[in-house]
Structure 1
Amino acid sequence: MKPAADVLKDLARRSNVSIHSNSALVGGVEDAAAEDDAERKEKELDALRRKPSLQPVPASESGASISLAPWEVLHALARAISLSNRGAGRGLAEHWGALKYTQALTGDPHSFMKLSPEGRDTADYYKALQSSELGVGFAVAATERILRHRYPDHAVSIVPADTALRAGWALTSRDKGPRSGYRYRPHFFAEVWKPGEPSRVFPIAAKGNHSNAAVSHTQLASASAHVEAVHIGAWDQTPSLIHSTELPLDGPLTLHVLQTKGTGGWLRGSGPSRQNLDESLEEENHFPGIQPPVDGDEPRDKEPGFHVTSDRYEWFRHSLARTAAGGVTAFTGDGEATIPYLTTRQGRKRFTGIAHPATGSVHDASYTLLGTRFVGTDHVFRLNRTRVEAFSGVAADLFELLAGQQVEQYRSEIHSRRSSWPKETWDRRWKGPVSIHPDGTVLAIRLLIS
């Protein structure tokens, strides 16, 4: 059993993550999709509608590999699931689920990241859960890097797709409103934005496996159906990114990633007015379905999915910005600050009342990390019999803006400061790993100081 102090050092140690994106991958995914279509036809099931024209991500944007510390991956995962409503967490403690993987990954600057012995042991019992959740962490980290390289003057926000969509559509039987009955949806939206300008939105699908490249091909074929379920603007013009993280039990991990291009995804208002993001989001009840282009004079039946048409651009931009802000306040453990950012269908009630024992977070902690003061919540647990303290929060001045529902000012601040946050992964005064993200959030861990 590795001493907890050594585990913390491993969390802060960067190593390389291989990126696989080329024409051979496209071919493998197309073959997997064709095989799946044939199987569905034999079972008399409809073929899935998938994104057409998958393409590699240019090496100039993705590189052959990216350098990441395991703690940065866990921070990406924690931010992504802060509004996920999984299990008994009641929302306030969802992000602590990322801490399950504090010993799952290993590597060093001169090698490629892989599963640690503890990660391999866990995979024997929780293979699907571990690969799925770690796949989210790597996909989110890679998406942000690709899009920041593509749009250097913009900020990138990752928003859980189900939460954002629920502001306008009923997704499942527990939601009130006209339901779609369609189970294929993106996992996240990546909003690329700059204050005062139209933003662009990319549906994202993130999967993972503990097998091999052939399984990743199958996962990407499925992922292309997930991202196809949301159209923003014209038919089949919404750009997207799909990911499958291969985490083999006996070698380095590989992130397989493909993209689709298009002229859509832009949230351009139809007039000079621009909705104030400081105002509460109104829940709407859109009828599901994507409208294909007309065929001659005859309108075509709608396809299953969700269509953000031009009259919904301002509303959807509002939903994305408010949902992202609510994810940050939930990450700090402040339920009261989170409630105004969510509609009833998005899960506002999860942040009211008493949380289940040992799961609730409380916004009552403050630390200075890498020279910046953060406020948030902490969590104490045992790591290999040693008590450790984890802290999640956001820069104190940014929290004051979010608590006051000053979303416009918050976005202006994080856009202007997006490249100035510290890049270090260890704080000597804190004596542990620290990850600071451009959205102003921080995740830190250390041995508990008695």
Structure 2
Amino acid sequence: MEPSRVIPIACKGNHSGASTSHTQLASAAVHADAVHIGGWTDTPALIFSTELPVDGPMTVHALQARGNGGRLTHPADKARDLDAVLDDDNIFPGIQPPVRDGESPETVPGFHIQQRHFAWFQHVLARTGAARPTAFAGDAVLVDAPQLTVPYLTGRQGRRRYEGISHAAIGSVQDAQETLLAIPFVGTGHVFRLNRTRVEAFSGIARDLFEHLAKRRLTRYRSEIHARRSSWPTHTWDNGWNGPVSVHPDGSVLALCVLPA
């Protein structure tokens, strides 16, 4: 597998027009420039501002920085066990400009992932990536796998928000099963109204991949989604479910259907 490549992305939106988007692009460029991964000013970035006017078409403005950096390359002996618990490293903020005339200039405001941090940052991304589908499928409270999302996050990433009892308005429990596009999924369901029409939403993850995450087999989970990345269904309608279905390459799914009035 190729080394991970990280691209900072800044997204903003407004209900005004192009002038507001231009201001948003400028401020977003400052935010993106405050993150360096590897070499000085060599980190690629994508910046978006979306116009959502009340009486006109949606317009997306985009800027791209064509940096060659962002690749988390490191020696094999520095590789980490992704199944291991992530340590909350204390990296002092500040972007280090290159050495000039044998001297290191003072740091500038921002956050800099230097090469000595690459293996740790790759570990962070892997564990955070695992937390997304577990939370998306409902942070299950099961006898054999309580609070699935908690072990994949550090304290600074908001781990405490998944500990204890969640508010009913924001919490979700993995308590539903659906077979969609011939794939068994586990997850959580919600019912809401869309323009007075009752709609059910199911969000989950493939059952076999869920088992890997529940049992902390992150390395195996990542290997399997990498191997299956091009084999997920491409059609987006399930007749049995009677609604649209979207399967993401990480094995997660979102399905919608209209309920009887």
**How does the TM-score come out when normalised to structure 2?**
0.91
Q: Which has the higher helix share?
A: 1
How far apart in 1 are the matches of 2:83 and 2:176? 26
* Counterpart AA for 1:252: P
Q: Give the number of aligned pairs.
A: 255
Deviation at 1:250, TM superposition (A): 2.6
Q: 2:36 aligns with which of 231, 241, 244?
A: 231
Match of 1:400 in 2: 211
Q: Tell me if structure 1 keeps the 8 A contact 2:176–2:188.
A: yes
Give yes or no for the alignment of 1:294 onto 2:108: no
How far apart in 2 are the matches of 1:312 and 1:345? 17
Give yes or no for the alignment of 1:363 onto 2:174: yes
Deviation at 1:358, TM superposition (A): 4.1
- TM-superposition CA deviations, 1:185-237 (whole Å, max 9, x none): xxxxxxxxxx3x31111011111122222222221111111111111111101
How far apart in 2 are the matches of 1:428 and 1:253? 31
Q: 2:154 aligns with which of 336, 340, 343?
A: 343
Match of 2:23 in 1: 218
Give yes or no for the alignment of 1:266 onto 2:47: no
Identity of counterpart residues, as a percentage?
A: 61
Match of 1:249 in 2: 54
Deviation at 1:271, TM superposition (A): 4.5
Q: 1:322 aligns with which of 123, 127, 136?
A: 127
How far apart in 1 are the matches of 2:84 and 2:20? 45
How far apart in 2 are the matches of 1:357 and 1:250? 35
Q: 1:414 aligns with which of 210, 225, 245?
A: 225
Question: Compared with structure 1, are the counterparts of its residues 234 and 388 closer, same or farther at alpha carbon in structure 2 (3 Å cutoff)?
Answer: same
Q: Tell me if structure 2 keeps the 8 A contact 1:293–1:299.
A: yes
Match of 2:143 in 1: none
- TM-superposition CA deviations, 1:93-117 (whole Å, max 9, x none): xxxxxxxxxxxxxxxxxxxxxxxxx
Give yes or no for the alignment of 1:305 onto 2:110: yes
* Counterpart AA for 1:286: I
What do you get for the CA RMSD once the two structures are aligned?
1.8
How far apart in 2 are the matches of 1:218 and 1:209? 11
SS at match of 1:235: coil
Q: Which runs of 5+ in 2 are unaligned?
A: 141-146
Q: Larger deviation: 379-388 or 319-328?
A: 379-388
Higher relative contact order, chain-length normalized (CA < 8 Å, sep 6+): 1
- TM-superposition CA deviations, 1:151-191 (whole Å, max 9, x none): xxxxxxxxxxxxxxxxxxxxxxxxxxxxxxxxxxxxxxxxx
Match of 1:14 in 2: none
Q: Tell me if structure 1 keeps the 8 A contact 2:49–2:60.
A: yes
Give yes or no for the alignment of 1:439 onto 2:246: no
Q: Tell me if structure 2 keeps the 8 A contact 1:270–1:311.
A: no
Q: Tell me if structure 2 keeps the 8 A contact 1:206–1:244.
A: yes
How far apart in 2 are the matches of 1:357 and 1:401? 27
SS at match of 2:21: helix
* Counterpart AA for 1:340: P
Q: Which runs of 5+ in 1 are unaligned?
A: 1-194
Deviation at 1:270, TM superposition (A): 3.6
Match of 1:378 in 2: 189
Give yes or no for the alignment of 1:283 onto 2:88: yes
How far apart in 2 are the matches of 1:423 and 1:273? 38
Map 1:101-250 → 2, pairs under 5 A: 195=1, 197-250=2-55
Q: Tell me if structure 1 keeps the 8 A contact 2:185–2:204.
A: yes
SS at match of 1:345: helix
* Counterpart AA for 2:154: T
Deviation at 1:444, TM superposition (A): 1.2
Q: Tell me if structure 1 keeps the 8 A contact 2:209–2:221.
A: yes
SS at match of 2:208: helix
How far apart in 2 are the matches of 1:223 and 1:202? 14
Deviation at 1:449, TM superposition (A): 6.6
Spell out structure 1 runs of 4+ moving beyond 4 A. none
Q: Tell me if structure 2 keeps the 8 A contact 1:202–1:239.
A: yes
How far apart in 2 are the matches of 1:425 and 1:210? 31
